[in-house]
Amino acid sequence: MSLFGSTTTSTIGTASSSTGSAAELSGDRVLTSPPEDSVSDLSFSPQAEFLAVSSWDKKVRIYELAANGDSQGKALYEHQGPVLSVHWSKDGTKVVSGGTDKAGRLFDLQSGQSTQIAAHDAAIRSVRFVDAGNTGQQIVATGSWDKTLKYWDLRTPNPVSTVQLPERVYTMDAQQKLLVVGTAERHICIFDLSNPGNIFKTIQSQLKMQTRVISCYPAGNGFAVGSIEGRCAIQYVEDREQQKLGFSFKCHRDNAPPGPRAEANVYAVNAISFHPQYGTFSTAGADGSFHFWDKDSKHRLKGYNALGATIPCTAFNRNGTIFAYALSYDWSKGYQFNKPDYPNVVKLHPTRDEEVKPRPLKKR
């Protein structure tokens, strides 16, 4: 039995009106001057309408979004290899990124300069600004394929702490005082950022296949896990909450045709993003679809069918009125499928309350 207790598999409620039409996406704006290779990550500034986009073309681009949906490039900086992760500081003045060049870089919007602030022995898969300790000062966390998590104080060149992890880092996220790392072999390491140098607890993912993405709840009391098997788990840090509220559900799968040996196509859940105000969330996958969910009422609020390309990453802006999603190759079928004519765009979807506002909970 895991430290989280048992997790039930639930059927998520849907309504006939919950499947969106192509017409409802016709107003989505396309980001101008997109990356020249696959998009790897998206991150909105918490202070302004700026969007950072990292790419396999070794660059991080920062765009400014206008109220009418127009976008323009504001800044660009480079790594020496494909960039895999990007994240904004809480005050909106800096962007941190990590990639296959084993380096973490910091970009200062005011000076327009980027500097290397982190180093690993293998690719940096995920980066986050975190509120660690009780100093009120944000530091940078970097998770790597070298099986370590490192914390960096931007005022000093060496890591302030290095944590050995059970396997290579595949995904990482943080909210409030919670940081969660998902590694190879389905390990999940949970950190209390009041004591960031020690793992609070390590569990095995309740999902049977490789972990693809972890995203923390805005309240910092739990996290959602997506796997390559088209399944999502809703998890809580406290055992009591997990036993009461935790569950998993199937998503990003084709309906199986009738027949005794019929098999459905199953796709990876590539991205999970939480609405910053409502606490509802999105999933997006290798099937090219995205959906909005309410974990508390166990309901799918809205879903959009496959859009003709895989979706590797998504993000909500600071107040949840814009949902950004990349239609870009996610490398799930190997390099031979990354063809020159494969779509490579970032789209901006204006959200409506019917898509993202939670459903009233039924009284029991």
Centre a 10 Å sphere on the Cβ of residue 81 and count the other Cβ atoms it contains: 15
Tell me what pLDDT residue 316 has.
98
**pLDDT of 312 above 80:** yes
Burial of 67 (0-12, 13-18, 19+ CB in 10 A): exposed
Tell me what pLDDT residue 254 has.
86
Query: What are 246-267's pLDDT values in tens digits?
Result: 999 999 998 766 767 667 799 9
Cα-based distances in Å from 154 to 105, 116, 141, 233, 278: 11, 10, 11, 34, 33
Contact 171, 188 (CB under 8 A): no
How do strand 19-20 and strand 299-304 relate by DSSP bridges? parallel
Tell me what pLDDT residue 262 has.
67
The mean pLDDT of 321-339, rounded to a whole number, is: 92
Query: pLDDT above 70 covers what percent of the chain?
Result: 93
**pLDDT of 342 above 80:** yes
The mean pLDDT of 172-183, rounded to a whole number, is: 97
Contact 56, 80 (CB under 8 A): no
Of the ranges 100-114, 122-136, 249-263, 350-364, the best mean pLDDT one? 100-114
Radius of gyration of the chain (CA): 19
Distance (Å, rounded) from C-alpha 339 to C-alpha 303? 28
In this structure, the dihedral spanned by the alpha carbons of residues 239, 245, 250 and 251, taken in order and rounded to 10 degrees, is -110
Q: Which of 107, 99, 152 lies closest to 130, judged by CA? A: 152
Written as one letter, the residue type at 146 is D
Residue 344 is encoded by which pair of tokens? 């490579």
Written as one letter, the residue type at 343 is P
Contact 291, 282 (CB under 8 A): yes
Position 12 confidence tier, pLDDT thresholds 50, 70, 90: low
Q: What are phi and psi of 243, to 5 degrees?
A: -65, -30
Contact 144, 127 (CB under 8 A): no
Position 2 confidence tier, pLDDT thresholds 50, 70, 90: very low
DSSP structure class, residue 257: P
Considering the entire predicted model, what is its pTM? 0.94
DSSP structure class, residue 335: G
Distance (Å, rounded) from C-alpha 210 to C-alpha 4? 18
Q: Which of 273, 274, 255 lies closest to 265, judged by CA? A: 255
Centre a 10 Å sphere on the Cβ of residue 28 and count the other Cβ atoms it contains: 18
Distance (Å, rounded) from C-alpha 321 to C-alpha 308? 24
Q: What are phi and psi of 87, to 5 degrees?
A: -160, 145
Q: Which of 215, 216, 188, 192 lies closest to 203, judged by CA? A: 188
